[in-house]
Amino acid sequence: MKYGSQLEKFFYETITHQLPVSVSLDNRKVYVGYVWGLAPLDPHRVGDYAVRLLPIRSGYRDEKTLELHFTTRYTEVYRRIGREELEGVKREDFLIVLPVKNIISANLFALWIDRSLLKIPST
């Protein structure tokens, strides 16, 4: 992608390679999931620019330390949907729309890495 903001390019890259992302919002909420689409960027309506995300996990950042705390896991629900155990429910029912103006940061999220490996031991 030649044009667009760095965030837009990043999200398109994650869609192309089907990579999970972590998105932190200005209200300290955090969503981890797969980008399902971007609203087209209209330079006259930047405030309306948004990203659609299928969440895998969600939570919040601690007010003082900003440490990430997950509160919701969606994977078991998706498994049950895939096995047709939840009649009338689709994965798309869980899509969320995040206004870009509320995104503080976005990064790739390696689901397979134990988060405790990244912590620095206190001395």
H helices then E strands: how many in the chain? Answer: 2, 6
pLDDT in tens, 92-123: 999 999 998 899 999 999 866 665 655 667 76
- CA–CA gap between residue 60 and residue 31 (Å, rounded): 8
Q: Is residue 41 part of a domain?
A: yes
Answer yes or no: are the C-beta atoms of 94 and 77 closer than 8 Å.
yes
Please list the alpha-helical segments (H only) found in 28-103: 75-82
pLDDT of residue 43: 59
Residue type, 123: T
Report the CATH number that the domain containing residue 41 is assigned in CATH. Answer: 2.30.30.100
Q: Is residue 19 part of a domain?
A: yes
pLDDT of residue 47: 62
Question: What pTM was estimated for this model as a whole?
Answer: 0.83
- CA–CA gap between residue 54 and residue 38 (Å, rounded): 12
pLDDT in tens, 1-23: 455 688 888 999 999 999 999 99
What tokens were used for 88? 């009338």
